[in-house]
Chain A
Amino acid sequence: MNWVALTWPMLAAASLVLGLVHGLVWLSQRRLHVHLALAVAAFAVAALILLEMVALQTTAPRTLGELIRWMHLPVTVVVVAMVYVVHVSFGYGARWLAWGAVSLRVLALAVNFASAVNLNFREISGVEQTQWWNATVHHPVGTLNPWLLLTQASNAILLVYLAQSLFRGMQAPETTRNSVLVVCGGWMLLIVVMMTSALLMAMGLPRIPLTATPSFLVVMLAMSWQLGRDLYRSERLTQLLQDSELRRLRVQKDLELAASAPGLGLWSWDANGDGYVENANNREMLDSVPGSRDLREALFGRVDADEREAVELGFAQALRHGTWEIDYRIVRDDGDSRWISLMGSVESAEDGTPLLVRGVTRDVTRLKNEQEVLRVLLEAAPSALLLVDASGRIRYSNQQASRVFGFGERTMVGLHVETLVPMRLAERHLEHRRHFAAHPVPREMGRAMDIVAVREDGTEFPVEIGLSPLTLANQPHVVASITDLTERKEMEMEMELEREGIAHLARVTMLGELSGSLAHELNQPLAAILSNAQAAQRMLRRDPSEIGEVQAILGDIVDNDRRAGQVIARMRGMLKKEHREQYPLLMNEVVQESIRLMRNDLLNRRVAWRIDLSPGIPRVTGDRIQLQQVLLNLIFNACDALPAEDKDRIVTVRTLRSERGVCTEVADSGQGIPEAMLESIFKPFESTKPNGMGMGLAVCRTIVRAHGGHIWAENREAGGAKVCFDLPAAE
């Protein structure tokens, strides 16, 4: 056995196997015709190899000639098949070239069978032997058939075709480039080899073992490898596709589940596909006619005729954006009115026509109702409400706000909040706003800050403002609640006047009680004046030159008169209605004056008094008469509380320094005040006296409070009670 006899069958077998493989591939995936072509080619190559092998061993010229003739058949088959494969795989070459090459080949085949011997030889004269290494091979010699040129022409065209494919293929991406290079390049090489082989044979030089046959195999293998790779890739892609398809199905299922549970409707509309598709929920929610495929009819079929056009227009406009959202109302078959909210995505063509719309449907009736309720609530709220954004612009105002600020029925939205503040306060207000924005804590800007607002017509009015910070759409906002204080202020003023009236009344009453004391106080200086004057008269009568003495007397008379005048003035002071003077006073002086006023009264009542005045106490700011009124009242009360026994009738007035300023105490040595009444005695109309009006302590409290202090009652350890009032020191 020589190596040819060994190798050639092996090659044929390999080709057969290749053919089988690709044939099986084609059988499993009928679509891939290239594999069939390759299989056919492989089988043809196998046949060719075997024929060649026999041809190489044949000695008889006639047999050789026949063999060669039959060899052309598988060659043609292979060429046709390979062209088909290359063209289908790459498709770079020009079609007509491919057809040209193929048709020439077929023609050559026809000629081959038509001719006497075969395409190669006109006639074979003999068979010669050559040595390919240790193998003896035979080859024919004879006259060449000129029709052989057909095959060469076919080859040439094929070369061109392949060159073109190769050239174009080089510009393709890497993977394809490699394939093209291998296949076309190899194929071209093969053709060159074939042509060379034919030429050599014609020239009678068979010494070089250049036969096309093994070369065919090489090319086949290249193609096979190429196709194999494609196959593998396509398998992988198929697998991936299957996986993604599975996933998609699963996701869709999940979505369906998700949507069906809380009552979401899902729908999609594909211009190029199935049209309008919806899930059961959607149909249910929109109460659409089942089976309707028109998008607009399905979505808006139940919209009220009046609103339909506007809604559809709104929808069309919304679809201009990649993600869209609209709300509208429908009336169901049973008459129920519901609010529907649609939102979703849309893919549009370049000109804006929607190609694919997907949507989610929700029934937002309850939400809308809640919103409506909220809106109505806000509108009906008794206080004026404003929502102001970070830049100071009003985003929302309720009806009450419009009314309070004099805008009537118009809304205040869009106005700048600074326009609601009078010009002179605008800057301060701006600062307040900035400060609030920096420290957003809910705050009541109360009366203490004397806030004044201005109406649309320019009139000013006092207000109380409450502020709350709020975040809306990730932006800081402020909600302001505004109360018009005009009425309240008026009432306050009225009350103030009333209070003054009552205090005055109490003073006048007290004056009545003090009348004895006052009369006495007036009497003393008058008595002194009389005695002094009469003394002077007598002195002059006795000795008219005693002027010096008389001058002294006159001086004393003037002093006495002044003293009387003071008493009158004090009385007048108490009778005056209005008292709002604020001077720095020494409580010690006020105490002494009050005692002086009451002195006679105290003596008449057989009340002993003690005064304990701290020397270093600060001054307090207040009205002298009013504070005196308080002291007198307290001392009178103390006197009334004293027991009948003479030895225990003591009233003590004390002043001391306190934390805030000065504390004044009026203590009695009576029975004390019952625990439960310590607070209530300050209430108006609470009196322990049978004929009392109960106003005294109430008025005292009002006065003390108006001075910024507070008043309270305590029981003393030693027995008896004391009433103390604490006043802040003057600044």
Chain B
Amino acid sequence: MTSTVVHVVDDDTDVLKALTRVLASEGLAVSPSQSTREFLDRYDPEIPGCIVLDLAMPEMSGLELQALLEQQGVAHPVIFLTGCGDIQSTVRAMKAGAIDFLTKPVDVDALLDAVRRGIGLDLETRLQRHGRCEASALVMTLTPREREVLRHVLAGRLNKQIAADLGIVEKTIKVHRGRMMQKLGVRSVAELVRLAERAEVAPV
């Protein structure tokens, strides 16, 4: 948890200072930026965390920044803060995928709640992504034949049937199967299925 960072972006110095203070008082690591440009300069997408964004900012507004980040394929969760909460902005923000929309003056509890949710979400997302990456990498190590066998196994076919499908002797199928499962590091078919899902391998 200590390696997470909360980014705060607000063009108003007083508000920025206060928000930073209040978040820091909870032991969070805060990275304040007074403008979107400043934020983009110091932003490191690898460090997990979330972003607290002021909606109305000169040059690039909060919404625009969010859109930009999404374009770049960054998944940091975004919490919007605004001085005036009109419905239109709220709806737009939520549709764009913000996890929360808070109005100033913001109560610290509400803010912290949102921030924690954001961090949690981010971590989970990263975890998931991480898992997916691992599985994909393992699948990459399979030979084409092994991959084929995998796909058939995922389809629920018996060895006998797979042999018949691929025109190979059952014994050979068993050998492929064994090697595949070893490479993928799974002991049961259930595990295999889960890994294949993570790697996004489709059954035949």
Closest to A557 in B: B18
- Whether A553 pairs with B21 at a CB distance below 8 angstroms is yes
State the CA gap A93–B15 with chains docked (Å): 149
Closest to A560 in B: B14
Closest to B13 in A: A528
Distance to closest chain A CB from B35 (angstroms):
13
State the CA gap A171–B104 with chains docked (Å): 142
- Whether B21 pairs with A527 at a CB distance below 8 angstroms is no
The listed residue (A524, A531, A538) touching B83 by CB distance below 8 A is A524
Given contacts A520-B56, A538-B26, A603-B58, whether A532 and B18 have CB atoms under 8 Å apart is: yes
- Whether A531 pairs with B26 at a CB distance below 8 angstroms is no
Q: Tell me the chain A residues, 532-586 only, with Cβ under 8 Å from chain B.
A: 532, 534-535, 538-539, 542, 553, 556, 559-560, 563
The listed residue (B21, B56, B57, B61) touching A532 by CB distance below 8 A is B21
Prevailing SS type, chain B contact patch: loop
- Whether A527 pairs with B58 at a CB distance below 8 angstroms is no
Distance to closest chain A CB from B107 (angstroms):
7
The listed residue (A523, A534, A553, A556) touching B84 by CB distance below 8 A is A523
Distance to closest chain B CB from A359 (angstroms):
103
Is A28 in contact with chain B by the CB < 8 A criterion?
Answer: no
Residues of B within 8 A of A559 (CB): 14
Is B98 in contact with chain A by the CB < 8 A criterion?
Answer: no
Is B73 in contact with chain A by the CB < 8 A criterion?
Answer: no
Is A519 in contact with chain B by the CB < 8 A criterion?
Answer: yes
Is B40 in contact with chain A by the CB < 8 A criterion?
Answer: no
- Whether A519 pairs with B25 at a CB distance below 8 angstroms is no
- Whether A527 pairs with B18 at a CB distance below 8 angstroms is yes
Is A13 in contact with chain B by the CB < 8 A criterion?
Answer: no
State the CA gap A556–B22 with chains docked (Å): 13
Residues of B within 8 A of A538 (CB): 22, 25-26, 108
- Whether B105 pairs with A604 at a CB distance below 8 angstroms is no
Contact with A along B6-31 (1 / 0, CB 8 A): 00000010110111011011100000
Prevailing SS type, chain A contact patch: helix
State the CA gap A272–B12 with chains docked (Å): 122
- Whether A519 pairs with B83 at a CB distance below 8 angstroms is yes
Is A502 in contact with chain B by the CB < 8 A criterion?
Answer: no
Given contacts A528-B17, A531-B19, A534-B22, whether A600 and B83 have CB atoms under 8 Å apart is: yes
Interface residues on A, range: 20 to 34
Given contacts A535-B22, A538-B26, whether A608 and B56 have CB atoms under 8 Å apart is: no
State the CA gap A526–B106 with chains docked (Å): 9
State the CA gap A335–B120 with chains docked (Å): 126
State the CA gap A535–B106 with chains docked (Å): 12
Distance to closest chain A CB from B65 (angstroms):
14
Closest to B57 in A: A603
Residues of B within 8 A of A609 (CB): 58
- Whether A531 pairs with B84 at a CB distance below 8 angstroms is no
State the CA gap A232–B198 with chains docked (Å): 171
Residues of A within 8 A of B108 (CB): 530-531, 534-535, 538
Q: Tell me the chain A residues, 503-527 only, with Cβ under 8 Å from chain B.
A: 516, 519-520, 523-527
- Whether B56 pairs with A531 at a CB distance below 8 angstroms is no
Is B59 in contact with chain A by the CB < 8 A criterion?
Answer: yes
Given contacts A524-B104, A534-B22, whether A604 and B83 have CB atoms under 8 Å apart is: no
Residues of A within 8 A of B105 (CB): 523, 526-531
State the CA gap A530–B102 with chains docked (Å): 14
Residues of A within 8 A of B56 (CB): 520, 600, 603-604
Residues of B within 8 A of A531 (CB): 15, 18-19, 21-22, 105-106, 108
The listed residue (B57, B59, B83) touching A527 by CB distance below 8 A is B83
Distance to closest chain A CB from B184 (angstroms):
49
Distance to closest chain A CB from B108 (angstroms):
4
Residues of B within 8 A of A539 (CB): 25
Residues of B within 8 A of A542 (CB): 25
